Amino acid sequence: MAVLLYHYGIGPLPGGFVGVDVFFVISGYLITSIISAEMRTGKFSLWGFYDRRVRRILPASLLTIVVTGIAGYFILLPSDYAAFGWSAVASAFGLANFHFLWNSGGYFDSAADLMPLLHMWSLGVEEQFYVFWPLILWAVFTASKGSARAAVAVLAVIIAVSFGASVYLTHTDQPVAFYMLHTRAWELALGAILVFAPRISNRIAGEAASVTGLVLILGAIFLLSSKMPFPGVNALYPCIGAALIIWPKAAAPFAEWPLRTRPFTAIGLISFSLYLWHWPVLVLYRQLGIGDMPPVLDRVLLAALAFGLAIATYRYVETPFRHWHPPYKKAVAIGTVAAAAIGAAGAGLSWSGGYPARLSVELQELDAFRDHTVGMMTGNRDCFVSSANADFRRSCLNVSKSKPNVLLVGDSHLAMLAPALRERFPEINFLQSTRAGCRALMPFEKNSCGNQMRKAFQLVDAGKVQAVIMGGVWRASHAERLARTSNWLSSRVKQVVVIGPNLRYKQDLPLILAKDGKQVMKHSLLRKVRNVDEILRKKLNDTKVYWSLLDVFCSRKSCTPRTPEGFPTHFDNSHLTTYGAKLAVQRLARDGFLNNLAN
């Protein structure tokens, strides 16, 4: 329920995503208790274990993938549908966490909000745990002749190493820490180690443990947020809380009474199916439009729909398969074939490009623009550094002896103009120092961005360039440093051009044109960008320096989303297409910038 309410934005639960962590602890305890009990009595069968897991997980999860795929045929644009296909392949084979690590930009990234199978990442972690843990526990029990101490020792090592990796990677590579089994294993192992812990026999101690556990879980749900480092240390609160509640106690604590009532246990019965359905129901509804979160009433009704689907799935899919007892290998074989068939269908969907023929030619052309990237627009020079850890090519700063040299410095919002500038001004040699998220603002910081810009500005100080063009995702807070940088440059070159911020939209412009083309301005951020534009214009106080990119596409209250040829001006929510960039540079040339440098 914490996860559902968090995803649906119902109630103040900024840390509701920790419900998955609580689930990991419970699952580790439950699975280990089953395996260890069977091993102690000599009844454990690896095929039997996998048979139960297949019958428990695959029917409902594969059904969810299939139904989501069918609905996606009528709702998703080709690029989104093709992306769904690969996520379906990964989800069918229990590898969704790997897929979304490589394709989502992070669980809390805004782009991940519209991926229909994103929630399958946790199922991937769980299924990978099911593959390895029985084998490890069987090896430990066999080598130690069933020693519980040996199992506890192994689990303690797993907890220590995995938690250490989680803490470290949360600060150095958060998506890996979030999605991967080796950084989540300690949560599952924390539940598993409770199987070998002594019961809490003291009634007061049992009550204290339960109260503390509930406080820790509720505190995590209400006080943590996606802006805080997670998992790492912050995952301790819900995990320890869950461990304290499920720790075996001699007497049932009064504090846990609410969890034993009919409403809670009823939700518990359908919880797996509810988790499976709640996310695609919300995402597909959002994808009917441009991705905005629907009104509260709509979300409540969508949650009710998810409950209805969960109840039906529990009754007509989960329960029958749970009570079906074919030979172990037969169930595993059938499950494997079913997963492979759905995976093959997902791969075919992706290879087809998301079946674009089902849509009009105009929609296909609009959607094709969403595959563009800034890197595609930099030409053969490849002078845009898209990764924080990538090296900058020195050849991008080669000085010409026969042409005027103009230095381009900034982030992707300047890099998007570079090819059009070179095409419009072939008589000029453009040196380019651009990096993702990097603004050329003095004083430079001591990082990869600052180091790259410092080297570029050394050419200015050495008198090797005649003009500098600056651009980026400017904020109002940049005004003072931008003016200082502009003044420093103006004293050393013939001309400085500061290109103002570009118009931004709430979602990709091609998506808006495809889904709501008659209400484009409703989805723009014109007012916010205009405010920054006016602050920078006033601060620089020199029309010969500041050039408003916003004025190319917008009047005072409205903007044109297409070029005169009918192409979208943007390929995402803020970057210009090749056609939009050419239109901007034509206006730049018309206004007389750079014209005197060739003389």
Helices 120-144 and 78-92, axial angle in degrees (round to 10) = 10
Instruction: For the chain, report the end-to-end CA distance as a whole number of angstroms.
Output: 70
**What are the CA-CA distances from residue 229 to residues 9, 129, 167, 168, 437 (Å)?**
20, 24, 9, 11, 21
What mean pLDDT comes out for the span 269-276?
Answer: 97
pLDDT bin (cut points 50, 70, 90) of residue 386 is confident
pLDDT digits (tens, 9 = 90+) for 420-449: 999 999 999 999 999 988 999 999 988 888
Residue 146 pLDDT: 84
pLDDT digits (tens, 9 = 90+) for 441-486: 999 988 888 989 999 999 999 999 999 999 999 999 999 999 999 9
pLDDT bin (cut points 50, 70, 90) of residue 8 is very high
Q: Which residue has the higher pLDDT, 122 or 555?
A: 122
Which CATH architecture fits 369-590? Answer: 3-Layer(aba) Sandwich (3.40)
pLDDT at 380 over 50: no
pLDDT bin (cut points 50, 70, 90) of residue 376 is low
pLDDT at 528 over 90: yes
Q: How many other CB atoms are found less than 10 A from the CB of residue 528?
A: 13
Question: Where in the chain do CATH 3.40.50.1110 domains reside?
Answer: 369-590
SS3 category, 13: coil
433 in Cβ contact with 384 (< 8 Å) = no
Residue 381 pLDDT: 54
Q: Where would I find the H helices in 96-202?
A: 96-103, 120-144, 148-172, 174-179, 181-193
pLDDT digits (tens, 9 = 90+) for 338-373: 999 999 999 999 999 999 999 999 999 999 998 887
Q: Which residues neighbour 98 within 8 Å (Cβ) at sequence distance 6 or greater? A: 90, 124, 179
What mean pLDDT comes out for the span 205-225?
Answer: 96
Which helix (H) or strand (E) is 499 found in, with range? strand 495-499
pLDDT at 594 over 80: no
Which among 339, 448, 358, 482 is positioned nearest to 75, based on CA atoms?
358
pLDDT at 378 over 70: no
pLDDT at 553 over 60: yes
SS3 category, 234: helix
Largest CA distance in the chain: 92
Rg (CA), the chain: 29
Residue 513 pLDDT: 93
In this prediction the pTM is 0.87
Dihedral angle over CA of 70, 71, 72, 76, nearest 10 = 140
Averaged pLDDT score across all residues of the chain: 92
pLDDT bin (cut points 50, 70, 90) of residue 308 is very high
What whole-number distance in Å separates Cα of residue 446 and Cα of residue 518?
Answer: 46
What mean pLDDT comes out for the span 227-254?
Answer: 94
Q: Are strands 546-547 and 405-410 parallel, antiparallel or unpaired?
A: unpaired
Which helix (H) or strand (E) is 138 found in, with range? helix 120-144
Q: Which percentage of the chain shows pLDDT scores above 90?
A: 78
What whole-number distance in Å separates Cα of residue 268 and Cα of residue 207?
Answer: 22
